[in-house]
Amino acid sequence: MRRIIGLRAVAAAALASLLGAGLVPTAATAAEGTVTTLYDYETGDSTHIQWGAAGAGIQPVAEAGTGSWSDTEPNERVLSYGFDLTADPFFGGVGYEFTGGAPAQDWSAYDGVQFWMHSDGADATIQVEILDAVSGSSAVHDRWDVDVPLGAAGWRLVQLPFSAFSYGTDYQDSGAPADGTLDLDFVRGLLFPAVSGKATIKLDEVSLYAGADVAPSIGVTTTSLSVTEGEDAVIPVRLSAASASEVTVSVSTEDGSAVAGTDYTAVTETLTLAAGEQDAQITIPTTGDDVAEGNRSFAVVLSDASGATLGASRAEILIRDDDEVAAGELSLLTDVVEDFEAELVLGDPAAVPPLGWFSAQGAGNVPTFERSVDAGRPGAGSDNDVLALSMNTASWAVVIDTFTEDGSSWQTQDWSDARGVGFWMRGSNSGAPMFVDLLDNRNPDSTVDDAERFSVRFVDDWSGWRFVELPFADFTRKNIGNGAPDDGLTLTEMHGFGIGVEQTSPAVTADIAIDDITLVGASDANRPVVINTARAIFTVAEGEDAEVTVRLTRAADADVTVDFTTEEATDRTSTEDPSATADRDYVTTSGTVTIPAGERDATITVPTIADGKAEVDETFLVRLSNPVGAELNPLALARVSIVDADPAIPGIIDDFEKGTAGLDPVGAATLSTREIAETDADAYADQDRWDNVLDVTVGGDGTGGFGRTFPEPRDMSDQAGLGFWFQGQGDGGEVTVRVQDGEPVAAASEDWELRWSDEFDAAAGTPADPRYWTYETGGWGWGNDELQYYTDSTDNAAHDGEGNMVITTRAVEDPAAAGLECWYGDCEYTSARLVTEDKLEVKHGRIEARAQMPDGEAGIWPAIWSLGNDFREVGWPRTGEIDIMEFVGKLPEEIFGTIHGPGYSGGQAYGNTYDFGENLGGQWLTFSVEWEEGEIRWYVQRDGGEEILFHTATPEDVAPSDWVYEHPFFLIMNMAVGGNFGGPLADTLTFPQELKVDYIRVFQGPDTAERFETTFVDDEAGWRFVELPFEAFDRAAEQPDGAADDGFGRTAVTGYEILVEGTDAAADAAPFAAADGAVSVDRVQTLAEISDPTPGPGDGDGDGGPGDGDGDGSTPGTGSGSTPGTGTGTGTGTGSGTGSGDLAVTGGGNGLVGAMIAALLLLLGAVLVRRKVGRA
């Protein structure tokens, strides 16, 4: 059965009409026809789950004080459900999930859900949510919901037709089908999330209803069951509703790895339920023995139902072997860390940091742990205490001990003398995938849990006690996004230990016990002395000396020396900083450092350089080499982050320190940047120790220059004008400065037009267009423990000559010889990551990309996505992340669309998937994000198919967390290998793998900004500071279609241009270092005020021009007069007049005409303030 459900608004209107029609009255009668009760609570048992700020339990009606909702057959028990969404964590609920061994339910013959609810009259709302899967074996589902206000105090019958439910927009699980239909053939759960308020309500008789008779169905109530060998397997069978006549069903068994007659007793029978009965059971004996032979399985199958339809018809039975396997030989036990003989110090997981024993888990999971007596461990006394744990794999769960003696402070332990860690474990043979986490060192002066995690996996696949030994060499770093150090497993400052389970479907429960957590392995005398940096990342304030500590794993008997040298960080590192520049940001340093005998630490000092520039933090490296008296850690490399605190120049727009990134050449201009030092003859006044300036060369007689379009409008209404340093040719050419002003006109998404694109049409083998794309390089794991090294080679990203950019991921043939450093050692894979940071930034609009997916095999992970342009300042996830497309090879039928922000990042991000139901490897798809203020929409379209909207995000979806998507973002495309999301690599994954991108396009509303401009004359070679008052700008003659004509308001400036006239390079005689024919610009900025006109060099004789009159010079001269002067004079018959200081131009005697000309010149808008040029 398929119910096609439209928009949420339709469902809301339908529910409103139902409420208006009285179908959810304060007191109502039950639905006529068929009512099938799911939960009535009369047994006192409930299988509900609960989460967040909510809880529930069975309560007698007499205790509840609510009275019965039924006068004829009073109910004795109800489910009491309380919630408080006014306090952290601001969400919660209760409900039922039909997962694990519980089969999906078929509700397709019914009309809706009903239940009795007692309200306490609070102003609060709950939701009723159906989990709808596409098949009985599907591990994911869609969520369909409807809001139910509590209403007046008292009992009422709530009846909700399925037509009132709409596709949930507040939350969907990752991988949800998003098929737009509430099928009801495979229902995986019924939930009652709280929506708002604080209340305690009672629920009873949760049921399905139909207006007509619905035939009952018969089936097993669990699809998977495990028993210990020798026990009976008891499989419950249930009729959905009692029948007035007898119901029968055939029962048989099928061998799997278990064999009938050897491992269990085969059954072939007919099961009969008499009239009025609903429950029965099938009992199958299993065979016990004393042989350790592993687990075996068989199946129980129902068929040929009579008097009812057939429901869930198959149950898999696992026979667990209870015969213990020998524990095996033990390594040298050197130190017992925890024997559980003393009371546990219990920690609060909400504390910062949590100290002692506590649990952490995913949604719907509640692991338990307690000390208990168990003498069964080999060598244990009769009163031996162990830690008993129960953890279900419905979601991840972990029990952690953060080392403390009294719960008030962290006490670290030094495990560096051991080879590994071990513990006794009483396995339950649950098959649960388990892990052990080590909590290593933290950042200096940390007050939070930022301990670096290292993890190893194993499986609960045995029964009884066994000693588990885990060498430290088997542990790998686990990135949990807590800002941990990244300096390897040092073991010298261990902060804790954890044991947990990973999520599985179906879920299983590991009921285990552990005892005697013990350090094992080589003694101190046999361990090599290894030298490394004490941390992966050090920080230093700009201008101060950086101190980098080097450390031995243990003190040596003799002095240890090691060489060091500083390096520029040409790759991105875990600091996420751009590279610092040698001898500009830090002093190039090298040498040898000595760690005296008996000590473990020494310090390397590197001076950094204060430059006065406001810039983001920058990183350089300190590399160790050539140790004497110790072994060198393969990752002996420190990253030093120079923290900048210089204030920005007020009003700065461009200082060209990032080269020409983001600048648009105009006309026939060529743009380049160069560095000048303050001691150079070519320096300008007030510059920093080193400054990058922009050179603009325009050949021939044309006009050209550069411009910048702002990704979002800037308010300059409180500023007086524009200023910049200008190094001219002195050739008399005209310089035009143009400003684009005007709020973008609001346009519906269907009216957006193409504003930018890269069609990737370049020649085969050429790199990405450097105007737009930067190759980011490095192998630091990229925050997800990824395995690839990103290169800038066309082997990994290049045009294919067929209109595509191809990102190619390759396996490294000889990692040791390749010389590529990854976080785990020599890099095994290479790939590419292209970003538009500082070159192209987008705010709002439609971002569209067409791409061909690589093979759909586990371990490959391509993406097209974006990060906020304030990433360097505020970091991730505060900057925001919009994932336009992710394709994860381990889920090859699905496409992901996601946002990450503060409070909802990583595994808790807000996203959705679209499942195409087939492997998308090698297929072409078009991905789009439509991004408007307050809403982002995701679309996907397979070539030849329809465009599908599969996800929407709004501020309400992430509340109370911040919505951080109303600022510009830059684009990224990459292909990762492995990592926390990509997962382990499949054996079938081959290399190379290719992500082909046909195009990336940005559509936005049309450019309707009004253009305003002014000019000045390049009449002097050399540097000067130009100040242009905004009041001098006039509306330009050429305007884009739709431009307003409402004046130069400057509340929404969208860009600027500076244009110069072409120069003859051969005739260039300018006395400075710019390229022939070039002019130079630096520090484009807004000015809060305009300086008074000041005299130029040489006391300012004006260029009044020759008088064209005879005799007394009474006719005005015709020169330009564009430079202020201070003299006054009269023209002669051939008349070389002089201008006055206020720009009057006169040939003598005629002051009125001179004043008129001066006013005309002022309208040209240039106030040129000449400042000191060069240095003495």
* E-only strand ranges, 101-223: 112-119, 125-133, 142-149, 154-161, 166-167, 181-182, 186-196, 198-210, 217-220
What residues does 605 pair with on adjacent strands? 547
> Could you tell me the strand order of the sheet in which 601-607 lies?
601-607, 545-552, 530-533, 631-632
Average pLDDT of 750-760?
94
598-602, 652-656, 1075-1079: range with lowest mean pLDDT: 1075-1079
Whole-Å CA distances, 725 to 41, 695, 977, 1085:
81, 12, 48, 10
Quick check: bond before 89 cis, omega within 30?
A: yes
pLDDT band for position 325 (50/70/90)?
A: low
CATH code for position 87: 2.60.120.430
The answer for residues whose C-beta is within 8 angstroms of residue 159's C-beta and 6 or more apart is: 23, 24, 28, 31, 112, 113, 114, 209
Q: Are 726 and 1024 in contact (CB under 8 A)?
A: yes
Closest CA to 169 of 143, 134, 149, 189: 143
Where does 123-193 have alpha helices with state H? none
The DSSP 8-state label assigned to residue 378 in this structure reads T
Neighbours of 921 (CB within 10 A): 17
Whole-Å CA distances, 980 to 391, 479, 977:
22, 8, 10
> pLDDT higher for 887 or 553?
887
pLDDT (tens digit per residue) in 420-471: 899 999 999 998 989 999 999 888 778 888 898 999 989 998 889 998 989 8
Closest CA to 856 of 731, 982, 693: 982
Q: Across all residues in the chain, what is the average pLDDT?
A: 84
What percent of the residues of the chain are helix, what percent strand, and what percent coil, each to the nearest 5? 5, 45, 50
Q: What distance in Å separates the CA atoms of residue 1047 and residue 1059, rounded to the nearest whole number? A: 22
In a shared domain, residues 627 and 681 = no
Active-site residue flag, 966: no
Q: Are 883 and 862 in contact (CB under 8 A)?
A: no
Classify 506 as helix, strand or coil: coil
What are the structure tokens assigned to 1065, written together? 């390079």
In a shared domain, residues 585 and 730 = no
pLDDT (tens digit per residue) in 684-727: 998 999 999 999 999 877 889 999 999 999 999 999 999 999 99
Q: What distance in Å separates the CA atoms of residue 469 and residue 369, rounded to the nearest whole number? A: 22
In a shared domain, residues 802 and 920 = yes
Q: What distance in Å separates the CA atoms of residue 192 and residue 52, rounded to the nearest whole number? A: 12
CATH code for position 267: 2.60.40.2030
Classify 53 as helix, strand or coil: coil
Where does 547-652 have alpha helices with state H? none
Closest CA to 107 of 11, 179, 36, 12: 36
Residue 339, in any domain of the structure: yes
Selecting among 493, 776, 881, 930, the annotated active-site residue is 881
Whole-Å CA distances, 617 to 575, 874, 1018:
9, 11, 38
Classify 756 as helix, strand or coil: strand
Residue 272, in any domain of the structure: yes
Where is the domain boundary, 210, 241, 271?
210
pLDDT (tens digit per residue) in 540-589: 999 999 999 998 877 888 999 999 999 999 888 877 889 999 999 999 99
Residue 922, in any domain of the structure: yes
pLDDT (tens digit per residue) in 668-680: 899 999 999 999 9
In a shared domain, residues 161 and 201 = yes
In a shared domain, residues 514 and 534 = no
HSE toward the beta carbon, residue 291, CA cutoff 13 A: 6
The pTM score is: 0.60
The answer for residues whose C-beta is within 8 angstroms of residue 526's C-beta and 6 or more apart is: none
Closest CA to 169 of 966, 937, 940, 941: 937
Residue 121's domain comprises 3-210
What are the structure tokens assigned to 961, written together? 């967390």
In a shared domain, residues 202 and 227 = no
What is the DSSP code string of 531-547? EEES-SEEEEETTSEEE
* E-only strand ranges, 111-163: 112-119, 125-133, 142-149, 154-161
Residue 1038, in any domain of the structure: yes
208-222, 306-320, 341-355, 548-562: range with lowest mean pLDDT: 341-355
Average pLDDT of 850-862?
94
pLDDT (tens digit per residue) in 1096-1122: 333 344 443 333 433 333 333 333 333
How many domains are there within the chain?
6
For residue 948, the model assigns a pLDDT of 96
pLDDT band for position 1074 (50/70/90)?
A: low
What residues does 920 pair with on adjacent strands? none
Where is the domain boundary, 176, 193, 210?
210
Closest CA to 156 of 342, 27, 306: 27
Phi, psi of 1151 (to 5 degrees): -65, -35
Closest CA to 1088 of 714, 650, 653, 685: 650
Share of the chain above pLDDT 90, in %: 57
155-159, 228-232, 559-563, 739-743: range with lowest mean pLDDT: 228-232
pLDDT(654) > 70 = yes
Q: How far apart are the first and last CA of the chain?
A: 89
In a shared domain, residues 361 and 292 = no
Q: What distance in Å separates the CA atoms of residue 135 and residue 187, rounded to the nearest whole number? A: 9
Residue 56, in any domain of the structure: yes
Active-site residue flag, 599: no
pLDDT(935) > 90 = yes
> pLDDT higher for 915 or 71?
915
Closest CA to 983 of 810, 830, 795, 856: 856
Closest CA to 822 of 532, 574, 1157: 574
Largest CA-CA distance found in the chain, in angstroms, rounded: 135
> pLDDT higher for 300 or 76?
300
The answer for residues whose C-beta is within 8 angstroms of residue 22's C-beta and 6 or more apart is: none
Closest CA to 726 of 1081, 1172, 1122: 1081
Selecting among 97, 229, 542, 886, the annotated active-site residue is 886
Residue 588, in any domain of the structure: yes
In a shared domain, residues 126 and 173 = yes
Q: Give the amino acid at 114.
A: Q
In a shared domain, residues 477 and 456 = yes
For residue 326, the model assigns a pLDDT of 52
Q: What distance in Å separates the CA atoms of residue 1173 and residue 1096, rounded to the nearest whole number? A: 12
Q: Is 576 left (phi over 0), alpha (psi -120 to 50) or beta?
A: left
pLDDT (tens digit per residue) in 795-842: 999 999 999 999 999 999 999 999 999 988 899 999 999 999 999 999
pLDDT band for position 1176 (50/70/90)?
A: very low
Q: What distance in Å separates the CA atoms of residue 778 and residue 578, rounded to the nearest whole number? A: 12
Q: What distance in Å separates the CA atoms of residue 401 and residue 414, rounded to the nearest whole number? A: 15
CATH code for position 886: 2.60.120.200
Q: What distance in Å separates the CA atoms of residue 989 and residue 921, rounded to the nearest whole number? A: 12
What residues does 740 pair with on adjacent strands? 1011, 1055
Residue 899, in any domain of the structure: yes
Residue 66, in any domain of the structure: yes
Q: What distance in Å separates the CA atoms of residue 795 and residue 797, rounded to the nearest whole number? A: 6
What are the structure tokens assigned to 407, written together? 């719960």
What residues does 425 pair with on adjacent strands? 466, 514
What is the DSSP code string of 882-924? EEEEE--TTSTTEEEEEEEBTTB-GGG-EEEEEE-SS--TT-E
In a shared domain, residues 71 and 195 = yes
Q: What distance in Å separates the CA atoms of residue 1015 and residue 737, rounded to the nearest whole number? A: 6
What are the structure tokens assigned to 486, written together? 């990244």
Average pLDDT of 928-934?
97
Task: List, as own/partner pairs, every contact residues 670-678 make where C-beta atoms lie below 8 angstroms and the sequence separation is at least 24, other chains included.
Answer: 670/696, 670/697, 670/698, 670/699, 671/695, 671/696, 671/706, 672/697, 672/1075, 674/1073, 674/1074, 676/1073, 678/1175
HSE toward the beta carbon, residue 986, CA cutoff 13 A: 17
The answer for residues whose C-beta is within 8 angstroms of residue 980's C-beta and 6 or more apart is: 478, 479, 784, 785
What residues does 930 pair with on adjacent strands? 846, 937
In a shared domain, residues 925 and 987 = yes
What are the structure tokens assigned to 568, written together? 């520029």
The answer for residues whose C-beta is within 8 angstroms of residue 958's C-beta and 6 or more apart is: 899, 901, 903, 904, 910
What are the structure tokens assigned to 315, written together? 């149950």
pLDDT(278) > 90 = no
Phi, psi of 10 (to 5 degrees): -65, -45
> pLDDT higher for 171 or 11?
171
In a shared domain, residues 191 and 264 = no
Q: Are 673 and 1078 in contact (CB under 8 A)?
A: no
Where is the domain boundary, 1087, 1106, 1134?
1087
Q: What distance in Å separates the CA atoms of residue 322 and residue 331, rounded to the nearest whole number? A: 26
Q: Are 371 and 344 in contact (CB under 8 A)?
A: yes
